[in-house]
Structure 1
Amino acid sequence: MPIRIPDNLPARKTLEDEGVYVMDSTRAARQDIRPLSIGLLNLMPNKERTETQFTRLIGSTPLQVELTLVRITEHQSKHTSEDYLNTFYKTWEQVREQKFDGFIVTGAPIANIPFEEVRYWKEMVEIMDWTQTNVHHSMFICWGAQAALHHFHGAQRYRMAEKAFGVFRHLVVNPRSPFLRGFSDSPMIPVSRYNDIDRTTLGADLEVLIDNAEIGVSMLGDQKHHAVHFLNHLEYDNRSLADEYERDVKAGLDTPQPTNLFPNGDTSATPENRWRSHAHLLFQNWINEIYQTTPYDKAEIGKA
């Protein structure tokens, strides 16, 4: 089944060119089924690229999904025009009375700022608490995962000696998790972060699902808060890490070449994507688990 997104969203053409079936609002209205309602709180500066990455994965599932793009209410984007945001996004204030089957919170490029000093932290706290009453299951990614682990569990993060940057082999700790069905034992996963979570501050009610002994936990299950926390970036496309590296080099930063990204270490070569299949598996599993367990009546979400 296709994904339903705003009719004129720029990501539509990219997805259609890739063979992802995108449904317009007219056809969706004729189908006598309840689509899954998924919200995407996009905290990244390049909104269009991030939209495309996530809609590509959400749209590959066999279920009809209605995607709502959400942004922080008061925050003014420096990289995306207000016209674009007003056309394709809703503020959290506009959706806070709605119920969602699934909700995704992305990363944000504010790794060095203490949580409480982030300009929109108060609203983030409200959103995280809101997911407990208005969302059936949430996925927090990268900075979003760090924020949720800090807020819900008091988990502490620390600055690593050097940036974890590249594509690293990880270990699937619990292959029986419904979110990891079909995963290989040691998937390659893109990583781009300066911080890691102090394992000693992770409570017993969190389950490590994917791990890397050297660069830290990658994915945690959080049954108590009906969420998963993914600290890395399976949603990334081929060029995400490469573009970040080139940006840092142009800015004069002493950023090392991303590990295991460029063939033979040749930065002029096209990066190989060795994580795409696991990215699709993760999102298909997540959406399937939501479909199997969410109430048919959306009004019942959050009551159990």
Structure 2
Amino acid sequence: MPIKIPDQLPARHVLEAEGVRVMGETDAVRQDIRPLRIGLLNLMPDKISTETQLARLLGATPLQIELTLVRITDHVSRNTSADHMAAFYRPWSEVRNERFDGFIITGAPVERMPFEEVAYWPELRAIFDWTQTHVHRCFTICWAAQAALFHFHGVPKHNLPRKAFGVFEHRNLAPTSPYLRGFSDTFDIPVSRWTEICSSTLAEVQDLQVLADSAETGAGLVDDRAHGALHMFNHLEYDSDTLAGEYHRDGSAQLPAGYFPADDPTREPKNRWRSHAHLLFANWINEIYQTTPFDLVAGLAAEGQAVLA
């Protein structure tokens, strides 16, 4: 099935050129099925690239997806035009009374700041709590994953002496997990962050299960069953050239490890993670489909009452 996104969203033309089926509003209402409602709180600076990357993965699954783009209510993006934000994004204050089958929260370029000093931290905390009563399954990425673990479990993040930057091999620690169904024993993931969550700290929290980790960069994927959340510290959603763009943009002397052929930044990097990115998102969507209530409003209301009890 295709993904339903606004007709004029820039991601639409990119995805159609790649062969991803994209559905318009008129076609969507003709199908006698309930699409899965997925919200995307996009905190990344380059919002258009992130929209495209995540819509590509959601649109490749066999179910109809209705994607809603969400923003922090009073935060003004400095890297994306106001026209784009006004046309395609809804403030969280406007959607907070709605229910979603799934909700994705991306990373943000504030990872070295204490959580409490981030301008929108109070609203993000409210959003995390809201996911427990209005969202069936949540997926957090990079800084958002660290923020969620701090909010729900008090797990601190730690600054790294050197940026974790490159493509690193990860071990599949939970092959029976529904999220890692079909995964290889090892798989590569792009990493780009200045902070980490210590694996030893995660091991002390009863409700958390580390699904994948790397010898070089630590925990990479965590299942938070008590809060219906999957936390990914790294970036399986990245395009082939995303790390190259970061490297050239920052003018850094630090080459992304294991990324450029022969560590030569003039050579085109090879994408070694695309298949596992599609598999992870397909597994997440399938887990939602298998467990979400058909009557989303009534079902999530009951789930919310159970959480609050």
Q: Tell me the TM-score normalized by structure 2.
A: 0.96
Q: State the number of aligned residues.
A: 300
- Number of the residue aligned with 1:225: 227
Are 1:246 and 2:248 matched, yes or no?
yes
Are 1:274 and 2:276 matched, yes or no?
no
SS at match of 2:186: coil
Structure 1 residue 33 displacement after superposition? 0.3
Using the alignment, how far apart are the partners of 1:159 and 1:302 within structure 2? Answer: 39
Structure 1 residue 7 displacement after superposition? 1.1
- For the 8 Å contact 2:69–2:90, the answer to whether it is kept is yes
Are 1:46 and 2:46 matched, yes or no?
yes
Amino-acid identity (%): 59
- Number of the residue aligned with 1:81: 81
Deviations 1:121-160 (A, max 9, x none): 0000000000000000000100000000000010011111
- For the 8 Å contact 1:3–1:67, the answer to whether it is kept is yes
SS at match of 1:194: strand
Alignment of 1:257-268 (within 5 A): 257-268=255-266
- Number of the residue aligned with 2:15: 15
- Number of the residue aligned with 1:295: 293
SS at match of 2:302: coil
Are 1:235 and 2:237 matched, yes or no?
yes
- For the 8 Å contact 2:168–2:216, the answer to whether it is kept is no
Alignment of 1:19-30 (within 5 A): 19-30=19-30
Q: What is the Cα-based RMSD across aligned positions, in Å?
A: 0.9
- For the 8 Å contact 1:154–1:201, the answer to whether it is kept is no
- Number of the residue aligned with 2:36: 36
Structure 1 residue 265 displacement after superposition? 1.5
- Number of the residue aligned with 1:198: 198
Using the alignment, how far apart are the partners of 1:46 and 1:197 within structure 2? Answer: 25
SS at match of 1:217: strand
Using the alignment, how far apart are the partners of 1:45 and 1:258 within structure 2? Answer: 20
Using the alignment, how far apart are the partners of 1:109 and 1:256 within structure 2? Answer: 18
SS at match of 1:187: strand
- For the 8 Å contact 1:178–1:289, the answer to whether it is kept is yes
Unpaired segments ≥5 residues, structure 1: none
SS at match of 1:287: helix
Structure 1 residue 112 displacement after superposition? 1.1
Unpaired segments ≥5 residues, structure 2: 304-309
- Number of the residue aligned with 1:112: 112
Using the alignment, how far apart are the partners of 2:280 and 2:36 within structure 1? Answer: 17
- Number of the residue aligned with 2:62: 62
- Number of the residue aligned with 1:207: 209
